[in-house]
Chains A and B, each alone.
Chain A
Amino acid sequence: MRYRALSDVRVVDLTHFVAGPYATKLLADMGADVVKVEPVWGEGGRKIGPHRASVEERGGLFAFLNLNKRGVTLNLKHRRGRELLAGLLDGADLLIENFAPGTLAALGLAPHELIAKFPRLSIVSISNFGQDGVERDGRLNDLVLFARGGWTFPVGEPNREPLTPPGSLAQYVAALYGAIAAMQALAARDLGLGHGQHIDVSILEATVATMIYETVTFQYSGILRNRAGKRFAVGPFLIATLKCKDGYAGLHCVTDKQFEGLCDLMGRRELASDSRFNSALNRMLNNDALLEIVEAFFIGRERKWLYREGQRRAIPLVPIPSVAEVLEWEQTRARNYFETIDDPVLGKIRAPGTPLRLTSHRGEASRPAPQLGEHNREIFGGQLRLSDSEIEALKRAGTI
């Protein structure tokens, strides 16, 4: 879905893989004119999976993360390539990039020089560790990022190795900080607080930012949260992922009211006044005993029954769906959340929709992710007024 709220914002997008492209997707979904600039061989994210059988050149994640953007190619190692990039930056509001720190400067495109040349331009750099610090140039991947940022240590069985979260979740968190930073730069500029600026977002810091249960709680309590298996933690609550007859259910029982509801659900109302469980503190002290009782009840019930009967008692209790079930969930269906995209290479795909529902605009259909250099002619010919023969010459030279 695409809104038009940011239709006056021009973004030059030098990002690749996940964290950068999701940041610019957020802007593109709000109507910003995002021009994705790729090397002539395509950004690395084009080929990462998931793949449709026999289609290697375009992965599904690329097709999703680059919706609503236009795409051009430029070889920034060519002088002419950098000149054309400058042409795109002239009049642009934002440059967003996630190269390794120092890459832009090495190309002769140092951020402070770009901002001096284009005073309306702000630059958002998203990088592994930030633009400075002792380990500025270090490498990361998802497993290592989750581990280092603290997400992994408290997850999994106490007698086994810690369990990493799935996918690239933390990189999306960093992307959000990047997209917010872009809007912050625009707000500061438009409020007259100076020119554009170069904003530095560290993926590691974005990852750590969400770990307040650990970093701050630990200082307050002095208690290190260890792996608690199916439980989120052992605390004055029961938050757990429990096996039931046909899968797993997620229980979030925190308040006295929720606990009374849970006792009622199990037909064990006497437990609410049981001296082991009659206060949050006692539920923490006797958490193992409580877990045992609840587990024994859940195992004999079906997910749907637990969901319906739990929610009827105002307990946040949900079935744990597979991604296939998320796709078919009647709630996402009723709200037309997933959007069917007719991708030029992958065919019809159902992509997660935009979570922001503005009432100021009617959402329009998304535009598929660009093919490599798809908008070269439109942008270099139109916006930068190059002639057809110039464009042909650039192509021959390998600049576009």
Chain B
Amino acid sequence: MSTIFEGKIRVLDISMGWAGPLVGQMFAEMGAEVIKVEDTRHFDWWRGSLSMAPPEMQPIERAAVFNTANRGKRGVTLDLASARGIEILKKLIEVSDILIENFSPGVMERLGLAYEAVGAINPRLIMISMPSFGSDGPECNARGYGNTVEAMAGVTGLTGYHDGDGQRYTLSNALGDPVGGLHGVFALMVALRERERTGRGQLIELAQVESLIPFVGEAILDFQFNGKVPASRGNRHREHAPHGIYRCAGENNWIALVCEFDANWRGLASALGLERIADDPRFASAPARKANEDALDAELSRAIALLSADECLARLRDAGVLAAPVNSAPAVMADEQIQSREYFVAIDRAVVGTHLYPGAVARMPDTPLRADESAPLLGEHNRQVFAELLNMSDEEIAELERLGVIGTRPRLGEG
């Protein structure tokens, strides 16, 4: 079985961090040839800092996140501050279908790589720019990363405990990044399809913050309809109770539990040994439970704290109550359903060895996606790519190495 784009699409990925690299990685899943371009002076900052370990430990090859988001790519380096580096990059652009960049607005122009310039070199090129807040507008120069994008989209402002002091919390996964990246993949798929019809490439602009705002559309409409900013609900639900996270016996073990229907309430109470309150009028109906939620949560907390998470979840499952463990990383990976579908894939990567990485999400039977290739070392494929694609001789490549235009060792401080 063949992948979708094998031998058909070449992607040039000069982006850094997560959002842009994720786009390239998902094209690699589809079988596209993806070339990751880094600068030995300004390598992808997601490789981390050189100061984290001595040079012989190769600290920048040990970043789990970089090694995940750049799987399946070939890695080259180019000094983008040098005329020769830009010249070579333009030659790669000439033979590519897609260019991914997520520099701050204005950087591509300064490098002489504005869409007008690269589109003139290759009219079939589709270029995607993924600035945090947009390439124009009064705040376009503000710096943003996953968490800051998440804040400006309104997500952080909604994240807090129901009874907290107002403290807001950032999510655990820098959501602005993967969401920007996923929208970028979708946009490029649309543009590629259009190119089949028109023969022309185009520039797509994707402001990461604009890709995340739709996810809080519900709260934005709520404000418009009701004139007030929705309060933090924490783990609670607007309409029904119980709906919360409760501590189980042992260290840092928690479960999430929801009782949406009155029909489940008695079963829930007896599963937890709380028959005594099953008929308590304070908890007999959904509105009553919601009105007495503090008292209800106190009862549930006391009962659940006596049980192990496994025991508690087994009882709740038997009672037909919706519940799940609050999974830490190893627990997510050990999840029965995740395991039974073999979601994680093992990859052996130089320097770090074999680990499990998240697989491709969409299961395509006829043109399977492949997420089982490793991320490149810095400049790992310089020789291969420059010889194959640009017909450079060994002497030319050695000359570029001597001039520092390409290399396999990081130079100066950090990325």
Contact = CB atoms under 8 A, between A and B. Distances in A.
Contact of A220 (B64, B204, B258): B64
Interface in B132-154: 133-134, 136-145, 147-148, 151-154
B103 to A, nearest CB: 13
Contacts of A178: 362
A230 B7 CA distance: 47
A332 B155 CA distance: 15
Contacts, number: 486
Listed from nearest, the 4 A-B pairs whose CB atoms lie closest are A60-B221, A183-B189, A214-B329, A50-B222
Interface in A113-133: 124, 129-133
B328 A150 contact: yes
Interface in B330-374: 330-333, 335-338, 340-341, 343-344, 352, 355-359, 361-367, 369
Contacts of A200: 362-363
Contacts of B359: 205
Given A316-B148, A320-B156, A321-B151, 8 more contacts: A53-B225, A147-B327, A152-B256, A166-B219, A180-B185, A320-B151, A351-B217, A356-B187
A184 B133 CA distance: 28
B332 A149 contact: yes
A324 B221 CA distance: 10
A303 to B, nearest CB: 11
B328 A214 contact: yes
A148 B64 contact: no
Contact of A248 (B134, B168, B191, B358): B168
Interface stretch (A70-78, A187-195, A382-390): A187-195
Interface stretch (B86-94, B244-252, B392-400): B244-252
A108 to B, nearest CB: 22
Contact of B219 (A26, A146, A167): A167
Contacts of B207: 335, 355, 357
A281 interface: yes
A241 B139 contact: no
Interface residues of B, number: 149
A173 B64 contact: no
Contacts of A358: 187, 190-191, 202, 204
12 contacts: A60-B218, A61-B218, A143-B243, A147-B324, A150-B328, A163-B160, A169-B215, A316-B142, A321-B152, A324-B229, A327-B223, A330-B138
Contacts of A204: 335, 337-338
Nearest to A161: B245
A311 B157 contact: no
Interface in A87-103: none
Contact of A256 (B65, B260, B338, B413): B413
A212 interface: yes
B362 A177 contact: yes
A183 B187 CA distance: 10
Nearest to A217: B64
Interface stretch (B72-80, B106-114, B175-183, B281-289): B175-183
B37 interface: no
A205 B341 contact: yes
Contacts of A239: 147, 170
B268 interface: no
A324 B178 CA distance: 24
B173 interface: yes
Interface size on A, as a range, is 35 or more
A322 B154 CA distance: 6
A262 interface: no
Interface stretch (A134-142, A286-294, A366-374): A134-142
Given A150-B328, A211-B172, A49 B222 contact: yes
A201 B361 contact: yes
A327 B220 contact: yes
A156 B169 contact: yes
A39 interface: no
A319 B153 CA distance: 11
A358 B337 CA distance: 39
B65 A334 contact: no
Interface in B228-254: 229-230, 232-235, 237-238, 243-247, 252, 254
Contact of A215 (B67, B260, B329): B329
A186 interface: yes
B322 A141 contact: yes
A172 B215 contact: yes
Contact of A315 (B143, B254, B344): B143
Contacts of A330: 137-139
A186 B189 CA distance: 9
A12 interface: no
A163 B234 contact: yes
A350 B221 CA distance: 7
Contacts of B216: 166-167, 323, 326
B366 A197 contact: yes
B20 interface: no
Nearest to A25: B214
A94 B235 CA distance: 37
B2 interface: yes
B138 A334 contact: yes
A65 B183 CA distance: 16
Nearest to A9: B193
A11 to B, nearest CB: 13
Q: Looking at B172, B330, B367, which has the most chain A CB atoms within 10 Å of its CB?
A: B172
Given A154-B172, A166-B233, A193-B4, A360 B198 contact: yes
B169 A329 contact: no
A254 B166 CA distance: 26
Contacts of B252: 226
B202 A359 contact: yes
Contacts of B147: 232, 239, 250, 252
B298 interface: no
